[in-house]
């Protein structure tokens, strides 16, 4: 079974109709042959992210770059501490990939928690 994907423009159009209040959410979902729960989720996501419209794009880019730099440093430090080296990569690629995936996941968890709680 394949799921239908909807463009962000379509989702926004549906959510704006819901927010206008001329019709109920159920009526709009029925009109577009959509599941009301999906429309409800779109509405929640729309409202949660509404403030991003007013954010400075340069500030967001700077934060993304800072996150990437921090993530890279964290991964390098963890790989060095755990002995994940180019020699391991040459000797046993699967083990190197397994360890690097673990390091990447843990580093992302650390960086994300630092960004959220700072």
Q: What is the DSSP string of 56-112?
A: -HHHHHHHHHHHHHHHHHHHHHHHHHTT--HHHHHH-HHHHHHHHHHHHHHHHHHHH
Does the pTM surpass 0.85? The reply is: no
Which of 111 and 102 is assigned the larger pLDDT? 102
pLDDT score of 70 = 93
- Averaged pLDDT, 99-115: 89
Residue 116 has pLDDT above 80, yes or no: no
pLDDT score of 32 = 96
Tokens (6 digits) for 80: 């060095």
Residue 83 has pLDDT above 80, yes or no: yes
């Amino acid at each position: 079974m394949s799921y239908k994907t909807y463009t962000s423009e379509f989702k926004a159009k549906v959510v704006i109709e819901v927010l206008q209040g001329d019709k109920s959410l159920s009526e709009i979902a029925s009109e577009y042959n959509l599941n009301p729960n999906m429309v409800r989720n779109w509405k929640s996501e729309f409202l949660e992210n509404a403030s991003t419209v007013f954010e400075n794009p340069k500030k967001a880019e700077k934060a993304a770059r800072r996150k990437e730099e921090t993530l890279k440093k964290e991964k390098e430090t963890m790989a060095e501490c755990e002995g994940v080296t180019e020699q391991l990569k040459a000797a046993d690629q699967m083990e190197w990939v397994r360890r690097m995936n673990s390091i990447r996941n843990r580093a992302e968890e650390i960086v994300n928690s630092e960004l959220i709680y700072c």
